[in-house]
């Protein structure tokens, strides 16, 4: 009976190898991570999905504060004239801005953009707040919603409104700004690896792919199970571009008026899409333990038998005391249904406890990543389960790393590149020219430069496509 339930249940999720996009949609909808709304391109983040975001926020925010940043909140609206001050920036963002034209029944004298990102409004405030070198550095972050009017959307990956954090800092020198840019990229990388269990490639974006208005953009890129790359976070050194457009100046120690060097860096709810596509399997979600709203599901077996529910509750208290986010499922569904339900929801560990286990003073623990059963003596639960959660984390990370390595190839011919990007990352030497980049994209069926990684290797001395002298080894891939 459990077997039949299981089949019916899992049947509703498409298989990854048959139809990866459908698998993704099935997983996010059936696990109550997200839902579509009546507003085109906007998602509703349901409590289970929002629970993941709350944990992401909490882990990231701790890291931002440890590196000296404070949070603030800037307006949702940006007057059109303010947005227009940085030419490259506006060129990049204007096509996807949502415009407010009326307040109540009155037409506004100036249109207001809904922030697609906040460099402009924050820059205008920094201009007011920063007077002297004593005011520097300014190290702020903001958690908020932003809007980018997208034609083609997918929950978490690309939506017209999304939630994110955006850090904005101002410094005396280019070097300090560069140090900050790299520090925050490092924080992102450490977070991706140690919290989301996702290995990432970090490096520098091409001229074409960099942030509109930045001097340099750095990125972290991850490989999904379908062979496409996902940009998971970016960190920008703006040089003095925004300082000049928004008049962010300071009086130096030497009494000279100088432009600040600014940075910005951001990550978003897109990361949730990433962790689903990296770790999920045909049974559904597989949540990395450190952002799993429920880390352990306790299933009482034959729960009508005396003592079973009491023991389940005792386990719950033990786990809570050990700092584990646990939940007892004492609903009146069958055991088979519950197994599938919590597997589909990606809970890292399932614990079963029934009359026989109570007799033997043990529980059965099943890891979501390898589905293997382990028998754990009751008195070892509070030590073993936290350790097992770390093991699940490590297991997921290593599996994702192995996947990425299998999906990464080196190319010294353009044919090899075109082959390789059909199923993953391709490392190849590249001339760095935008014309060449566009030609590669067209001829390869959509491959883009992801980044020039910090760890360089000289595969040859000429560009894989045009044959001109190569500047960097670059990662290419099709991307979300």
Residue 14 phi/psi, 5° resolution?
Answer: -60, 155
Asked if residues 238 and 185 have their Cβ atoms less than 8 Å apart, the reply is: no
Could you say which of 2, 7, 62, 72 contacts a second copy (CB under 8 A)?
72
CB of 174 to a second copy, least distance (A): 25
- Residue 200 Cβ vs a second copy, minimum distance, rounded to whole Å: 25
In this structure, the number of other CB atoms found within 10 A of the CB of residue 135 comes to 14
Q: Shortest Cβ distance from residue 291 to a second copy (Å)? A: 15
Closest separation in Å from C-beta 230 to a second copy: 21
Residues 6+ apart with CB under 8 A from 402: none
152 near a second copy, rule: CB under 8 A: no
Sole binder of a second copy in the list 23, 24, 53, 242 (CB under 8 A): 53
Nearest approach, Cβ of residue 44 and a second copy (Å): 5
The least CB distance from residue 275 to a second copy, in Å, is 17
Task: Name the one residue in this structure whose structure tokens are 């030590």.
Answer: 383
Residue 333, judged by CB atoms within 10 A of its CB (0-12, 13-18, 19+), counts as middle
The neighbour count for residue 393, using CB atoms within 10 Å, is 20
- Considering only 109-117, 175-183, 192-200, 386-394, which stretch makes contact with a second copy by CB under 8 A? 109-117
Residue ranges of alpha helices (H) inside 331-380 are 335-344, 355-360
Question: Which listed residue (56, 114, 429, 436) binds a second copy by CB under 8 A?
Answer: 114
* Cα dihedral sign, 179-183-189-194: positive
Question: Strand, coil or helix: what is 124?
Answer: helix
Site string for a second copy, 13-42 (x = CB under 8 A): ----------------------x-xxx--x
The one among 76, 251, 301, 462 contacting a second copy by CB under 8 A: 76
From 21, 47, 435, 445, residue interacting with a second copy (rule: CB under 8 A): 47
Regarding 50 and contact with a second copy (CB under 8 A), the answer is yes
User: Per rule CB under 8 A, is residue 320 in the interface with a second copy?
Assistant: no
* Contact status, residue 84 vs residue 90, Cβ threshold 8 Å: yes
* Residue number, 325 or 423, with CB nearest to a second copy: 325
Provide, rounded to whole angstroms, the least separation between the CB of residue 466 and a second copy: 33
Return the sign of the alpha-carbon dihedral for residues 80, 82, 87, 90: negative
**Span 208-247, contacts to a second copy by CB under 8 A:** none
User: Is 145 a residue that touches a second copy (CB under 8 A)?
Assistant: yes
How buried is 143 (Cβ within 10 angstroms: 0-12 exposed, 13-18 middle, 19+ buried)?
A: middle
Based on the shown chain and the rule CB under 8 A, indicate whether residue 87 belongs to the binding site for a second copy.
Answer: no
Q: Which of 28, 55, 60, 97 binds a second copy (CB under 8 A)?
A: 97
Residue pair 299/352 in contact (Cβ under 8 Å)? The answer is: yes
The residues near 38 (Cβ < 8 Å, ≥ 6 apart) are none
Specify the residue, 43 or 366, whose C-beta has the smaller distance to a second copy.
Answer: 43
Q: Token pair 């990102």 is at which residue?
A: 117
Helix, strand or coil for residue 167? strand
In the complex, the residues that contact a second copy under the rule CB under 8 A are 35, 37-39, 42-47, 50-51, 53-54, 70-79, 82, 94-105, 111-112, 114, 121, 124-125, 128-129, 140, 144-145, 147, 149, 160-161, 163
């Amino acid at each position: 009976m459990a077997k039949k339930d299981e089949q019916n249940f899992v049947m509703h999720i498409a298989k990854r190898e048959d139809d990866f996009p459908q698998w993704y949609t099935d997983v996010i909808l059936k696990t109550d991570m997200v839902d579509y709304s009546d507003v085109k391109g906007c998602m509703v983040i349901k409590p289970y999905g929002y629970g993941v975001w709350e944990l992401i926020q909490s882990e990231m925010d701790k890291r931002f504060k440890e590196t000296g940043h404070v949070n603030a909140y800037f307006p949702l609206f940006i007057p059109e004239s303010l947005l227009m001050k940085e030419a490259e920036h506006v060129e990049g963002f204007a096509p996807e801005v949502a415009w407010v034209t009326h307040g109540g029944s009155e037409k506004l004298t100036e249109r207001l953009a809904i922030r697609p990102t906040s460099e402009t409004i924050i820059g205008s405030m920094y201009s007011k707040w920063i007077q002297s070198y004593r005011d520097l550095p300014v190290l702020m972050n903001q958690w908020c919603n932003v809007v980018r009017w997208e034609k083609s959307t997918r929950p978490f990956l690309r939506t017209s409104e999304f939630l994110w954090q955006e850090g904005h800092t101002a410094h005396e020198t280019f070097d300090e700004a560069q140090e900050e840019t790299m520090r925050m990229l490092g924080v992102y990388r450490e977070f991706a690896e140690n919290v989301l269990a996702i290995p990432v490639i970090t490096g520098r974006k091409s001229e074409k792919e960099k942030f509109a208005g930045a001097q340099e953009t750095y990125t972290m890129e991850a490989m999904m199970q379908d062979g496409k790359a996902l940009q998971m976070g970016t960190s920008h050194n703006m040089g003095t571009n925004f300082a000049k457009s928004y008049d962010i100046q300071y009086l130096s120690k030497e009494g000279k008026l100088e432009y600040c060097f600014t940075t910005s860096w951001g990550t978003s709810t897109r990361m949730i899409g990433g962790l689903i596509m990296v770790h999920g399997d045909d049974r559904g979600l597989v949540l990395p333990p450190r952002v799993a709203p429920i880390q352990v599901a306790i299933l009482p077996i034959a729960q009508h038998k005396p003592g079973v529910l009491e023991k389940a509750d005792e386990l719950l208290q033990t786990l809570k005391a050990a700092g584990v986010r646990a939940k007892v499922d004492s609903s009146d569904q069958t055991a088979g249904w519950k197994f599938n339900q919590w597997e589909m929801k990606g809970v890292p560990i399932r614990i079963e406890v029934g009359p026989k286990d109570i007799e033997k003073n043990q529980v059965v623990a099943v890891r979501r990543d390898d589905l293997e059963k382990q028998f754990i003596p009751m008195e070892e639960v509070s030590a073993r389960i936290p350790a097992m959660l770390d093991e699940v984390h490590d297991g997921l990370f290593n599996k994702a790393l192995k996947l990425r390595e299998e999906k990464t190839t080196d190319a010294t011919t353009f044919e090899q590149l075109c082959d390789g990007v059909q199923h993953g990352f391709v490392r190849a030497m590249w001339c760095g020219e935008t014309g060449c980049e566009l030609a590669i994209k067209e001829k390869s069926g959509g491959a883009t430069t992801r980044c020039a990684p910090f760890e360089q290797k000289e595969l040859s001395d000429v560009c894989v496509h045009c044959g001109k002298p190569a500047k960097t080894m670059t990662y290419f891939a099709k991307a979300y």
